[in-house]
Amino acid sequence: MENDFALVKAKFIENYNLARPIMTILGDEVRQEILLTLIEAGGMGGIRVGDIQKKSHVSRSAVSHHLKVLLDAGIICMRREGTKNYYYIDFKDSTVKPVILFWQQVEPMLKLCMKERERRL
């Protein structure tokens, strides 16, 4: 039983370590605003930096910086149309899946830890 707990805990920690870099990136308030803007844009085929900046309280260059961070992390996607860049979320290809997996495991892990603690008492 103790070995099973150790294995489950090790896997949980492994999943946490996979999710941590993405959670850190998503922890920034401006990036959260940008993601909400992209979600609100829905399936429009993407939205341009200027349009994102209009819905934001930061400069265009700051929006571009945060978009690059999100893009480099694989959280968002970009398509080019000539000289125009359109940013969008493609959930199928998003790197946020480890975060989702981690959070889906939190409640079962809490319950397992409670049982393990009770077993040891």
Secondary structure (DSSP) of 34-94: HHHHHHHHTTSS-B-HHHHHHTSSS-HHHHHHHHHHHHHTTSSEEEEETTEEEEE--GGG-
Per residue in 65-119, pLDDT (tens digit) is 999 999 999 999 999 999 999 999 987 777 888 899 999 999 999 999 999 899 8
CATH code of domain 2-120? 1.10.10.10
Evaluate whether 87 touches 52 at the Cβ level (below 8 Å): yes
Asked if the model's pLDDT at residue 44 lies above 90, the reply is: no
What ranges do the domains of the chain cover? 2-120
Provide the pLDDT for residue 95: 86
pTM: 0.81
Residue 1: predicted pLDDT:
58
User: In this predicted model, what pLDDT tens digit does every residue of 3-32 receive, in sequence order?
Assistant: 788 899 999 999 999 999 999 999 999 999
Q: How far apart are CA 51 and CA 42, in angstroms?
A: 14
Q: How far apart are CA 69 and CA 67, in angstroms?
A: 5
